[in-house]
A and B are shown apart, each in its own frame.
Chain A
């Protein structure tokens, strides 16, 4: 059974800092890996999706990488802003989608 782990559980940084969120998964036979953002009490917003054949995806200040062989993905956020404060979830998809517990990010002005 696929297990997804996210480290750290919480992160607080000053505005403008670059940061990395980590996601690991136990079964490398994934079809894709997706990163989501969740604001308090809200649904999930898809940020980036990386297919199993891809190494990375970029959208604006976000860059996600995937290393299937080591069972890892990272989400890099450049020049962080207070508006980036949210919980970030990664999810690995093979037969079904398995979520990590999330990293709660706070960006201080």
Chain B
């Protein structure tokens, strides 16, 4: 299994600013992902964080708005840039070991409110 922590757990930010969310996994994992969950909605995949290369973004998400880093097999960051109230969501980091069951694990989430 994998235990995932995220920082910050929540934040209130002003329109036009940026926030970087950190994700730490307690073991080396093959795949790391970032999801967004808007109020009352299910999870939407933003991107797959690739170790040592650029992230792979889903349709509707772009690198300029959501730059992602993954410098090693246990850590990733997601930045939400030039924020607007529509970015208010829970942002979730997720990881998959890529071995055996391919079970996917999730962090506790970062609750972002943009005013």
A interface residues with partner B (beta carbon < 8 Å): 31-32, 34, 36, 41-46, 49, 51, 89, 91, 93, 96-97, 99-102
Contact = CB atoms under 8 A, between A and B. Distances in A.
B67 to A, nearest CB: 21
A93 B33 CA distance: 14
B105 A46 contact: yes
A51 B42 contact: no
B61 interface: no
A102 B111 contact: no
Nearest to B104: A97
A39 B92 CA distance: 14
Given A99-B43, A100-B42, A101-B41, A43 B92 contact: yes
B42 A99 contact: yes
Decide if the interface of chain A is mainly helix, strand, loop or mixed. Answer: strand
B26 interface: no
Contact-residue bracket for chain B: 10 to 19
A49 B45 CA distance: 20
Interface centre among B6, B104, B111, by most chain A C-beta atoms within 10 angstroms, is B104
B103 A34 contact: yes
A96 B104 CA distance: 11
A32 B42 contact: no
A43 B93 CA distance: 9
Interface string B74-103: 000000000000000010100000000111
B77 to A, nearest CB: 17
A41 B90 CA distance: 7
B42 A44 contact: no
